[in-house]
Structure 1
């Protein structure tokens, strides 16, 4: 694993610690409606205080397109931040080093939305220099923004002694355990609607894992590529050549592709629509595939039983609607059972994935759940993440 410094490696006593966090939280009116991201970053902020540092927090909020926008001010997060930290938070629109040094040693300073200037997303050296002037040490605890080469995620990291926060550290260690230096056999589960959004991911995974299970709407494209009729299912027929190429690459790499062996079909895309389970060669022209069947779930569970490491991204069916959530729920529960016994390292991420695992009631049982979204996907695609690269020693 590429080395990076952590908070334990840094002398923070009496130093201003410029800390990039992700508190891009949902808000209604003037109230934060989900404090998950704030709660996750709180331990890093408190540890900086424990080590004698003064946290100077940098974050983005919404998409202000490089202009100040009062509707996207981080001021709205202050009450939730104070509740999570149990300490007062000083909000600052225009920081300078003098006011930071003049603040009490145990002060927590939250700087206004970094994206209120176009210089942030442009990774402007002038902005990076300004941010660096505000601190003595840089700490990045926003893995979810690590795939962006911005002034607050990449530029400033090159100008100050830099380290990973607790959340970033946990994420990097979990990802390394999943694909960097995993225990084998490694199995990946990739689902979701479209192959087109995950071509790079699939091409990378077939060279890294021993078994790749493909589910959801994207499995239909692979089934069509194998010559099966998928009725009126969601299917990217123009990508069947790509699907065949991925299968050829998998075979050459010794990776088993696991596709549905039986499917749950319905004529209407609606919860509790009349449905049936059938074989792959029995899908009618007026039917759509909405889930994998029990035979498929059993095959996936058997593969998990032999795996040591599991990487999961995306649901296996239309999990938002009963009863088309069964395959996702049952496969997730099979993985969680092995995790609970200490027999499987399971790492999952992506928006729909988190929702699906929460729906299955197993998110707490997985080894690691990444809420990083785009950064998690780019990592799975094998792409370097600028915010992580800047931390390497």
Structure 2
């Protein structure tokens, strides 16, 4: 896979696929610009080589063909201009491949930047449509994929578009190559003990990753909503907690496989339980054996936090994907915050994967202490699973 430094781009028109899918508040203000910052090195490199730069990204899931303001990338163009500290404005197209985008692209001077509107306004993006991909390709001489967070999706701007560029005209941006190299190095040759901390709500999305991790790690720590599927498979009463009943057997198989392979497998021993999913209800710290039938677990409890901290003590490599509870509500965020603090305090190489997990680390004030924070949760999970990522495959061909 070629990177930006391997190809000749001076003075050329460069199309950079970024991942600007950033969180906004109810007023449309960007609340976390980490993904925009992550793309700056690639963009600056192209500015310094007097390229004409076309940026493209998706944002959430608008209805194709319907241009709604709340899904617009206009706030991203403003933030990008502020972060780049450049004199010229970042030009914003009013469409994706329409007349406005074409006209603005044709007037670009060396070092100028044009941001296209949300790619998903066009149905062709998610359908991996060749005709749409060709229209995007017409904007540029060089294609750069710097959207690691989206490269597990077979979409037009990630996959189909690469057909229209030869092997010397397409490459990975700096962020993409950094992410891929980091994960590959850690997964192929980790310093041991290697501990995987896996949380989040569902087992189904992480089943293959867990199975694959089993052959690579020394310990697995399970938290978040997915822990209750494992606890129920173990025979515990979990009340109204989130459980995927169709995966109980799979969960049991993972526990048995861990035992067989000598991988230490940790599950919560207590939880923060409540009768309903709400910020203002009664909560109790309960051992997992005592969850009432009509209550639900919404965070790991203090005893579990201590147990998990002990399990992390000798770790040399830690990979964390998924929060320990419903961290968005203050009452159920303590387990995730404590996990972030405990991981940050180790002397291990620490890799944080996924938007939610990165958000926890940010809120806990531990971002500076982590070795590496990935911009892509889904993509990093696919890499761990050993799956082929369409975005990488397209650049290799």
Q: TM-score, normalised by structure 1?
A: 0.86
What does residue range 231-270 of structure 1 map to in structure 2 within 5 Å? 231-267=239-275, 269-270=277-278
Structure 1 CA distance for aligned equivalents of residues 192 and 310 of structure 2? 15
> Hey, what does 1:354 align to over in structure 2?
358
Q: Counterpart in 2 of 1:198? A: 206
* Distance in 2 between residues matched to 1:30 and 1:317, nearest whole Å: 27
Is 1:79 matched up with 2:87? no
User: How far 1:278 sits from its partner (Å)?
Assistant: 4.4
Structure 1 residues 383 and 267, CA, compared in 2 at 3 Å: closer, same or farther?
A: same
Change over 3 Å in CA distance of 1:110–1:249 after alignment to 2: same
Identify the match of residue 135 of structure 1 among 140, 143, 151.
140
Please list, as runs of the form range in 1=range in 2, the aligned pairs for 1:140-219 lying within 5 A after superposition.
140-160=145-165, 161-219=169-227
Contact residue 232 and residue 285 of structure 1 kept, 8 A: yes
Please give the root-mean-square deviation of Cα atoms over the aligned residues, in Å.
Answer: 3.0
Tell me the residue number matched to 2:51.
53
Question: More displaced, 142-151 or 124-133?
Answer: 124-133
Mean alpha-carbon deviation: is it higher for 87-96 or for 365-374? 87-96
Q: Whole-Å Cα distance in 2 between the matches of residues 243 and 27 of structure 1?
A: 36
Deviation at 1:67, TM superposition (A): 1.8
Deviation for aligned residue 1:244: 0.7
Aligned to 1:221, the other structure's residue is in SS state: helix
Q: CA deviation at 1:157?
A: 2.6
Between 29-38 and 311-320, the greater mean CA deviation after superposition: 29-38
Find the aligned partners of 1:268 and 1:380 in 2 and give their Cα distance. Answer: 35
Alpha-carbon distance between aligned partners in 1 of 2:156 and 2:378, rounded to the nearest angstrom: 18
Q: Which runs of 5+ in 1 are unaligned?
A: none
State the partner residue of 2:90. 89
Structure 1 distance, partners of 2:107, 2:299, is 60
Kindly state the Cα deviation for residue 257 of structure 1 after the two structures are TM-superposed. Answer: 1.3
**Equivalent-residue separation in structure 2 for 1:112 and 1:247 (angstroms):** 46
How far the C-alpha of 1:210 sits from its partner, in A, is 1.8
Structure 1 residues 283, 386: CA separation in 2 closer, same or farther (over 3 Å shift)? same
> In 1, are the aligned partners of 2:46 and 2:111 still within 8 Å (CA)?
no
1:272 deviates by 7.3
| Contact kept in structure 1, 2:52 and 2:112, CA below 8 Å | yes
In the alignment, what sits opposite 1:229? 237
CA distance in 1 between partners of 2:115 and 2:299 (Å): 46
Aligned-partner Cα distance in 1 for 2:287–2:39? 47
Give the 3 Å change call, closer, same or farther, for CA 169–326 of structure 1 in structure 2.
same
1:44 is displaced (CA, Å) by: 1.7
SS in 2 for 1:306: coil
Q: Secondary structure at the match of 1:153?
A: coil
What's the CA shift for 1:219?
1.4
Equivalent position SS for 2:39: helix
Q: Is the 1:272–1:321 contact (alpha carbons within 8 Å) kept by the matching residues of 2?
A: no
Structure 1 199/183 Cα, relative in aligned 2: closer, same or farther at 3 Å? same
| Structure 1 counterpart of 2:20, from 23, 45, 52 | 23
